[in-house]
Each structure stands twice: as structure tokens, then as C-alpha cells.
Structure 1
Amino acid sequence: MNAPATTAQLIPEFHPREVPAVLIEALKARFGERCSTALVVREQHGRDESSFTVPPPAAVVFAESTDDVAQAVRLAAAHAVPVIPFGVGSSLEGHLLAVQGGISIDVSRMNKVLAINAEDLTVTVQPGVTRKQLNDEIKSTGLFFPIDPGADASLGGMAATRASGTNAVRYGTMRENVLALEVVTAQGEAIRTGTRAKKSSAGYDLTRLFVGSEGTLGVITEVTLKIYPLPEAVSAAICSFPSIEAAVRSVIQTVQLGVPIARVELIDANTVRMVNAYAKLGLREEPMLLMEFHGSPAGVKEQAETVQEIAAEFGGNAFEWASTPEERTRLWTARHNAYFAAVQSRPGCKVISTDTCVPISRLADCLLDSVAEADASGIPYFLVGHVGDGNFHFGYLLDPNLPEERAKAEQLNHALVARALRLEGTCTGEHGVGLHKMGFLVDETGAGAVEMMRTIKRALDPQNIMNPGKIFSL
């Protein structure tokens, strides 16, 4: 296992490549006002929700079609200039930062739902469509898209980072739900991977190669997804526990008994306090599970009763049930507002977010030791988790003017990842590697596997222009 990084090593190195004036002129000639070099626009596209600060890209191109993306990439490739895809900017790991300079390609205007094939349970969208927009457009069909990372992220970005979220325990991640892609390669060629068929044995699985590639192999310009029938009945509940351990043990037993729970989220007492202050919810300030059950009315009732019995064995109390959409929205507000509530609790802070995931049987071991370390550190933090699949997140709240706080938080993160890997888990369950977790990739996969990734990257992107400096260095 690598030694913890020093504070200096935690700041990404900025080695900008030259962006020649002739390229900017060519982009402006092709895109007109849709190519911006205004500082405020560049700065907007040069930051995400990570704690890193890097100079912005040299220009931003607002693409409105696959051809726009292809032409922008071809122009950049002619000058070996980096290209960084941009959706809504909700990344947590520095994916959007121009660490080698270059241009940002904003696909947010590519926001059309192209085809709804309700009879096949598939939908095809442009990459700028967000998950909430998609569900608004397909709700009249009685179908929905379940992957919910919390933020209203773009579907192209969710595919690029192999995102998941609160429903993953029941419906899986983007890996399981992306059927096909259209991608613009580093040469500016649009290719298609996969079909609308539910399975295929035709050649290499290029769809899975691009899902999770974080923009380092190409720019996603179209996504075909699985969608699902809206459940006949939905019920949600919150339940408070005397300790985090009691809540986690309850989840482990629920999963191991095979209860098909749709969502089960942990919120620690710190986070409940923050959410109460932020959203005036009046929740009990104890460790809490938020749960949701999908199915037939009888099935939902049976699931809920089973989970309530399990929770009671571990001291779970104060169950609050919600069956109407309005009531469920109120309960889930606590989870979805957690990040923003935490940031508001320490004005001006930066957040270092963790993203480990472990086998469900090792969840208590990993989580409880990590909570003890965080409590002992004195660093303010919040804790939430999609604990039904073993994934949880600490958010350490740092004063950006105190380097010692960043160093301490990174030491906590390093210890947490090392613990997760010892327990046969991963350094990132859903956020991706980006900049922040590059140092852990070799620890998790081994040097040989990372070198194979580099070989693929060099073969598909010989000039290293597609979001360079992310996942691993070349």
C-alpha cells in the first residue's frame, strides 16, 4: 500500500499544453458565438464539486449535435490540444479540470430524448439530458429510469463515470443499464457501440469499455438505456437507531435475507443535524435509515413488515411511513440535501468526499472503524451511504485556508481506502477515479492492470488529448 500523500502531492500538477491562436480562430469561425473565451464562461467550465483548484480551459465550445462534437475534436486533434467533455459540472473527483489546458466541450444543449421504445423498455437520449428530465418525459408511459446519484446529473456524465446511487441495490448501476452508445473518438469519428437488444456476443464489449472511461477515450454523444415499469406500489420509511452499528447491522441482515428493498440509505446523526438546520425538517437527530419498497401492494407490505421486524431487533424505532409521492419527497429531501446542508454548516468550506464500497458482510467492520477515526480527528464531517450495496461516503469539511486540515482529511481518506481494499472492496463505488483517486488505482487493481489500461488509452488516443491527466498518468 502506498504511503499517505503529502499536502503538496495532493494538489494536481498543472502542465498546460499550448493552445494556438489559430485553433481558437478556427473554432470561432466554425461555431461563432457558441465558442467562448470569456473568463467567466471558462471558469464555470473549469471547476466541479471537488476541492481542487486548477486554471480554466482556454475556450468552451457549446455543442448542439454529434457533428459539432466531431468537428471540435478534429480541430483540437490537428493541434494536439486536450478536449474535456462537460455536462452539468456535478463531478466530485476533478474530472472536469483542465490540468493540461485545452478546450471544454459543453454538451448540455444536446438535451433531446431521441426515442422512447416503451414496448422494449429502452430509451435513447442525447448526453445532456438529465435524469430528472428523462423521468419527466417518460412518466406518461408508465415507465421510469431508476439510477439516482442524488444530483440532477447529465446521463452522458453518469455513463462516463459509471454512476449509480440510491436505487443501485435494486436496479444496479449505469454499467448494467447502458445498452448502447454513440461516441466521438479522439480522431473525431463518431462510432456506435451496442444495440437495443438486451444481450449480444458480437465482438469486444466496447459499450462497457466507454462506460466508466471518464472522457479519457472519447466523448459520449448518445446513450441507449434500460427503463423500467413504475412499481404498482411504493412505500418509504425512515427509522432511527441508537447507534450507527445498529443501523448497519440491520441493513446487513435485510440484504442477507434477500429482502428486495429498492433503497436503503444511511444518514449519521451529524448529517441529520445539518439537514434539520438546512431544511427545517425536525428529524430525530440520531443515526437514521431511509428505505423504499417497490412492488405490488401485498409485496410492499410484506417487505416493509419484514424490515421493521429486523430493525426492531437492533433497536430501530420511530418508524415514519410515507406512501404518497409528496410524503416520500419530504423524507428523501433529507438524503438529497445532505451535501448542500453540510456545506452550509461551515460557510466557505471545501469538501473532500470519499466513495468506498465493500462486500456487504464487511460493511460494519469498514464503516465503524472509519467513523471512530473521523470522530478522533476533530475534522467536521458528514456521512451518508447507499449501504444496501456496501457503498458509503464521508464528506470532510475543510477550511481552504488551513493546509493542515486538508492533510488530515487526506490521511483519513487514505486509511479508509486502505481498509476497504483489505476487506476486498474498492476505492470508488460510483464517483470514479478522476484526479483524486489516481493514487489508489494501482493499489486496487495492480500495476499490470493499470498498464493494460494505459495500453488501451495509447491505442485509442495516441496524442493523449481526451481528458488527459485523469484515472492514471501516461
Structure 2
Amino acid sequence: MMDILQFVPQPRPLPAGFLDALQARFADRCSVAQAVREHHGRDESPYPTMPPDAVVFAESVDDVVWVTQHCHAHNVALIPYGAGSSLEGHLLAVQGGVCLDLSRMNRILKVHAEDFTATVQAGVTRKQLNDALRDTGLFFPIDPGADASLGGMAATRASGTNAVRYGTMRDNVMSLKVVTADGRVIETANRARKSSSGYDLTRLFVGSEGTLGIIVEVTVRLYPQPEAVSAAICNFPDLDSAVRSVIDVIQMGIPVARVEFMDTGAVRATNRYSHLTLRESPLLLFEFHGSPAGVREQAESVQQITHEHGGQDFDWAERPEDRSRLWTARHNAYFAGLGLRPGCRASTTDVCVPISRLAECVGATARELDQAPFPYTIVGHVGDGNFHVLMLLDPDDPNEWAESERLNHRLVERAIAMEGTCTGEHGVGLHKQAFMQAEHGTDGLDVMRSLKAALDPRNILNPGKMLPPASAA
């Protein structure tokens, strides 16, 4: 078990003159200031700050190529950086090196409305893209909560609240422009809706967490804005009833756009943080997309299923401002949870299991967490079997940290035993490496290591992430 409190980075020494060359090329777009380096050496994970030796702010593909070639030639670690919202230590500079900040590469390059596609630079955020699409009648549906960059979302194979209907980044990235470890620029596919040509390089880089190449452009699928949208919330007497309602809804084939779960602790925290008056019991939050008649039919079917499981107060939110208020509150559940224990640090984890095992997995997890010496919340995109646990820890109590790690391991082991995965959308980073052997097996990991060695033979791209060392497998 990796001790997150005792993790010690192992920086590579920089060759003489390396930083001078960076600063000569990028001037004020290369920073070695401590505050800048520390900002780029932490994310939303529970790990301590691990700053890079320098931060370069790229503004073009040529900038990325130059930095990559320079790092490759001198065997210097290189970590791509988007919005800094990752949760599992993805961007920490465990071997020092250069952090390549892509946030200034934020141009929307082309919207092909007639083909339902958009091509953007990696630093464009999901909110920025949807704002630009506002007058086209189209939208990009992948919504992980944070206003993450599209490049980062592709790199971590993100999903979110809309995944039950629209899929994940894996399903919605059509093509990528990637800079390889030695500085070559490749296009992984064209914009055709399907192809049988060659290896599927797009899917190789989606979810690779910056370890195989640096994503600089993303072409994504777009969807028509639904004619009608409605939301509803429904409370339940207990956790099991809520989750079993979701299972029945999905197995009935009702095409809900979103279905989110919040346990009592999460609802209580959300009420305080967002100034709401939701009933403080397990809650499901639904959204329906389609024609007015279709939305009404979906909602009525769901209402009937929830009532059969003891659901109460199936309350509608049809006005856009009411829906926005509810979904903003849901997206703020992480920060709301922190308010339950002022001064705490959070350790958060997620798993995903087959929908038929969801109630069993959530129930067993909650029973174990009820015995923990710290508060917790459970929320989830339960329409696709994915849920998240937020553990609120005393930063000065190593016993609480040790117990949180034990419970995290128990949860992940349970999910994998149910033919699930150690992470539904957070990604592996540092924190989930310990589970890769159990999930993928020795041969599966060997194939992944072979891919890494072929594409990044000097191990400069986000080293120390995703794959555990062979000796630790």
C-alpha cells in the first residue's frame, strides 16, 4: 500500500545549461519562480506538493515540439498541464523536470456544424466550447463537473453526469493531434464517422494520462440541443432503495440523460454550501432530454419506478434557472463536502461496477465507512455504475490517513472482484497504480509497458504515473 504521507519524489538532475536554454527560447513564458512551480506541482489529490524545476507556457504546437525535443535530447521529465483539476496525482512532478502548461493554447479552431464536430486546441475548456456553440443549436455533452480542459479530459478519459446517455470521452473524441516523445506531430484519424484503416491510435492516446504523447488538438463529437429538458429530484428512505431504482430505470431502457446519486451526508453538505432546502435523505437527481412528449413519458416512467422503491416527493425543475441551480449544487458537492469538516484534507476515490452489482457495492462500502473515525460522503453517476467517495480527514492525524487508504483499498478490491474497475473516470495517476496488477494481470501490464517503451523509450513523458514499476507488480 502506497503511503501518501511518506511519498518521496525522486527528481532527475537537470543537465548544465538546460534551464538557460529554456529561458532563452521562451523568455517570460518560462518560469522558475517557486510560487509558479508549486502551483503546477499540486492538484486535488491528497499528495503533498511536488513542483517541477520549471514551467513553460506553450502557445503553439511549435512550442510543444521544441520543449519535447529538448527534453527528449537531454532526458528530462516532461509533464503536460491543463487546468490542474485532476484527483489522483496525475500532474505531480515526481521526477522533477518541466511542466508544460497548455492553458494558453485555447483557440477553437473549427466548428463543422453540418458534421456535428469541433476541433479545438488542448487548452480549450468544456464551458468555453459550449459558450462558443450557443448560437449553433449544438452542444458538447461531456461534463465532469470541473471546468477541465478538453486535452486533459481526453488524456484522462473523463466522463461525468451525462455519460449514461452520451458516453465518455472515449466515445466522443474523433481525432487527436499529438506530439510524440521525440517531437513528431501526428494526426490519429480524420473526421470521418468511422474507419477500418490501421490501428486505432485515437483510442490509444485517450486515457493515456500524458504518458504516451502530448495532446495538442482534439476533434470531438457535438450533439443537437434537445428540444425539451426537464429535471426532477426524488428522496428515498435509504441508500439501497435509491440505487435499486436506478438499476431498474437502466434495465428498463429508459433513456435518461443524467441520473445522479447523493447520500444523506452529501445532501446535508450541499444544503449548507449552496443554500438549498433539500430533504436530507438519500437522493436521486434526474434529467430528461428529447421532445416534450418524450420527456414527459420518460419522467412518468421513472416516477413510477421510484415510487415502487419508496421514493418520495418527485419534484420537478423545468425552468432553466431551477435546473441550473440544482446541477451547480451537484457539481459543487466536492467543495460542499469539505465544509462538513473545516480545516480537513480530502481523499477522494471512485470505482465503476456492472450496473447489476451497484447496490451491493455501494451498500457494502457505506457500511464500512460508517465505522470510520472521519465523516464521508458518497455521490455518483450511478446510471453507469460509477460512484465516488469523499473522505474528510484530519491533516495531522496519520491514523485517519491510514484508515482512509485501507478503506480505499477495500472499495477497489470489492469493485474489481465484481468485474468492475479501480477508476471509472478519475484515472490512475499515482494513487490507483497499486490496483493495476489486480485489474489487468501481469500479461496486460507487460503489453502496456511495451507500448510505453516503444513510444517513450527514455521515459520522459509524465514518468512515474499510470504503470507501476515492474518490480512492484
Q: TM-score, normalised by structure 2?
A: 0.98
Which of the numbers 24, 42, 47 marks the counterpart of 1:47?
Answer: 42
Deviates more, 1:382-391 or 1:338-347: 338-347
Matched, 1:401 2:396: yes
In the aligned structure 1, how far is the partner of 2:212 from the partner of 2:346? 28
**Which residue of the partner structure matches residue 309 of structure 2?**
314
Aligned-residue offset at 1:64 = 0.4
Q: Which residue of the partner structure matches residue 155 of structure 1?
A: 150
User: Letter of the aligned partner of 2:398 in structure 1?
Assistant: P
Gaps of 5+ in 1: none
Q: Match for residue 87 of structure 1?
A: 82
Matched residue count? 469
- Equivalent of residue 99 in structure 1, options 94, 116, 121: 94
SS in 2 for 1:194: coil
Q: Distance in 1 between matches of 2:121 and 2:342?
A: 36
Aligned equivalent of 1:386, options 378, 381, 387:
381
Is the CA contact 2:189–2:202 (under 8 Å) kept in the aligned structure 1?
Answer: yes
Match of 1:339 in 2: 334
1:262 paired residue number: 257
- In the other structure, the counterpart of 2:222 is 227
1:13, distance to aligned residue in structure 2 (A): 3.6
Task: State whether residues 84 and 98 of structure 1, in contact with CA within 8 Å, keep that contact through their aligned partners in structure 2.
Answer: yes
Residue 177 of structure 1 aligns with an amino acid whose one-letter code is: N
Q: Shift of residue 75 of structure 1? A: 1.1
In the alignment, what sits opposite 2:188?
193
Aligned equivalent of 1:305, options 291, 300, 316: 300
Is residue 350–residue 388 contact of structure 2 (8 Å, CA) maintained in 1? yes
Unaligned ranges ≥5, structure 2: none
Query: 1:188, CA displacement in angstroms?
Result: 1.1
| SS class of match (2:55) | strand
Q: CA deviation at 1:472?
A: 1.3
- 2:128 maps to what in 1? 133
Distance in 2 (alpha carbons) for counterparts of 1:285 and 1:324:
23
| Cα distance in 1 for residues equivalent to 2:159 and 2:305 | 26
Task: Give, in whole Å, the separation in 2 of the partners of 1:291 and 1:231.
Answer: 15
Partner of 1:354: 349
SS at structure 2 position matched to 1:376: coil
2:38, 2:49 within 8 Å by CA — same for their partners in 1? no
Match of 1:12 in 2: 7
CA contact (8 A) 1:250 1:311 kept: yes
Aligned partners of 2:58 and 2:104 also within 8 Å = yes
CA contact (8 A) 1:54 1:99 kept: no
* Secondary structure at the counterpart of residue 354 of structure 1: strand
Once residues 68 and 237 of structure 2 are traced to their aligned partners in structure 1, the CA distance between those partners, rounded to angstroms, is 55
Structure-2 residue corresponding to 1:291: 286
Structure 1 partner of 2:436: 441
When the two structures are superposed, what TM-score results if normalisation uses the length of structure 1?
0.98
Contact 1:11 1:52 in 2 (8 A): no
CA contact (8 A) 2:156 2:426 kept: yes
- CA distance in structure 2 between the aligned counterparts of 1:277 and 1:121, rounded to whole angstroms: 40
On the 8 A contact 1:274/1:341 being kept in 2, the answer is yes
Instruction: Report whether the alignment pairs 1:453 with 2:437.
Output: no
Q: Which amino acid aligns with 2:396?
A: N
Task: Please say if residues 361 and 414 of structure 2, whose CA atoms lie closer than 8 Å, have aligned partners that are also in contact.
Answer: yes
Give distance in 1, aligned partners of 2:98 and 2:345: 26
Q: CA RMSD in A?
A: 1.0
Q: Which amino acid aligns with 1:306?
A: S
CA contact 1:184–1:191 (8 Å) conserved in 2: yes
Map of 1:202 onto structure 2: 197
Deviation (angstroms), 1:46? 0.3
| Paired-residue identity, % | 63
Superposed displacement of residue 11, structure 1: 4.1
Q: Does 1:142 align with 2:133?
A: no
Task: Describe the SS at the equivalent of 1:446.
Answer: helix
Matching residue's letter, 1:347 = P
Matched residues in 1 for 2:437 and 2:468: separation? 11
Name the counterpart of 1:424.
419
Contact 1:355 1:393 in 2 (8 A): yes
**Aligned-partner Cα distance in 2 for 1:123–1:371:** 41
Q: Could you say which residue in structure 2 is the equivalent of 1:173? A: 168
Aligned to 1:35: 30
How far 1:85 sits from its partner (Å)? 0.3
CA 1:11–1:438: 2 relative to 1, 3 Å = farther
Does structure 1 residue 375 correspond to structure 2 residue 370? yes
Alignment partner, residue 277 of structure 2:
282
Q: Aligned pair 1:324/2:319, yes or no?
A: yes
Runs of 4+ in 1 over 3 A off after TM superposition: 8-13
Query: Could you tell me which amino acid in structure 1 is paired with residue 393 of structure 2?
Result: L
Query: How far has the Cα of 1:21 moved from its partner?
Result: 4.2
TM-superposed CA distance for 1:361, in Å, is 0.4
Residue 116 of structure 1 aligns to a residue whose secondary structure is strand
- What is the rounded CA distance, in whole Å, between the counterparts of 2:9 and 2:333 in structure 1? 32
